[in-house]
Amino acid sequence: LRRAIELKELELYYQPIVHTDSGNLVAVEALLRWNNPAMGMVMPDRFIPLAEETGLIIPIGEWVLEEACKTAVEWKDITGRNIGVSVNVSPRQFRDPHFTDAVMQALGNSGLAAEQLELEITERLILDNSIETAEILRLLDREGIRLSVDDFGTGYSALSYLKSYPFDTLKIDKSFVQDVMKEPEDASLVRAIINMAHSLGLRVIAEGVEDESQTHFLKAEGCDFSQGYFYSRPLPATEFEEWLKTNQRVQI
């Protein structure tokens, strides 16, 4: 893993995030893969924890930011339209003193507008409740970068952070979305999260949408955006470009 960057073994896959009502593409989430000659493709759940422990997540995270911003600009050049990009940020990265500089550098080097970049943060990060966390979130917000809470509903029960931190978006965890048609409790939770988010002025993305019936439910409940295998699996950049061409539903 230490040599993965120089050996060019890291690769970003991209998964569309669409408007729930229209199915139009609005953004992509960048998801990291490690192509190791001996182990084959290693999924992030297997190596991100190790990268966090060892601190390797800092250079890896910087590579992800640079690569994701650069690719989003290339797609803008191809399609003539803005495609936002979401990048996952883990707690250790976020606490690195150089983090905000690295974000601004990735924007500067690529020419991507700050509004087109969304950083996904899990509730785990907010748990520490430190002054620095709040300051960094505010700084990023002032720069125009969007901020979302990933895996919402799985980590933290004190909701007060939603009013004190400048988040734009909640991503409802796939564990709730998956059983929305089977478990009335999950349907109630998803409905409640959407209503709560909207009354706080936040937008909502449903993660893990796998079949059509879920899209009907999410439309009826006014969920802004959706992401999941129903629309597309995460794809390597070149395959995503094919997806862009065959799904002429890119929104301006």
Give the footprint of Mg ion on this chain (CB under 5 A).
88, 120, 150-151, 207
> Which of 126-134, 137-145, 208-216, 241-249 is the region at the interface with ligand C2E (rule: CB under 6 A)?
208-216
SS (H, E, C) 34-93: EEECCCEEECHHHHHHHHHHHCCHHHHHHHHHHHHHHHHHHHHHHHCCCCEEEEEECHHH
Told to check if 20 binds ligand C2E by CB under 6 A, we report no
Told to check if 210 binds ligand C2E by CB under 6 A, we report yes
| Min CB(37)–Mg ion separation in Å | 27
- Which of 123, 151 has the CB closer to Mg ion? 151
44 contact, one of Mg ion, ligand C2E, none, CB 5-8 Å limit per kind: ligand C2E
Told to check if 229 binds ligand C2E by CB under 6 A, we report yes
- Which of 45, 212 has the CB closer to ligand C2E? 45
Determine the Cα–Cα distance for residues 225 and 217; give it in Å rounded to an integer.
13
Determine the Cα–Cα distance for residues 192 and 185; give it in Å rounded to an integer.
10
Told to check if 234 binds ligand C2E by CB under 6 A, we report yes
One character per residue 35-64, x = contact with ligand C2E (rule: CB under 6 A): --------xxx--x------------x--x
Positions 120 through 149 that interact with ligand C2E (CB under 6 A):
120
SS3 158: coil
Determine the Cα–Cα distance for residues 111 and 89; give it in Å rounded to an integer.
20
Bridge pairing between strands 225-226 and 10-19:
antiparallel
Bridge pairing between strands 225-226 and 203-206:
parallel
Could you tell me where the DSSP H helices lie in 80-235? 91-95, 99-110, 123-126, 131-142, 161-164, 174-178, 184-199, 212-220
| Min CB(22)–ligand C2E separation in Å | 19
Binding site for ligand C2E (CB under 6 A): 15, 31-32, 43-45, 48, 61, 64, 88-90, 120, 150-151, 174, 207-210, 228-229, 234
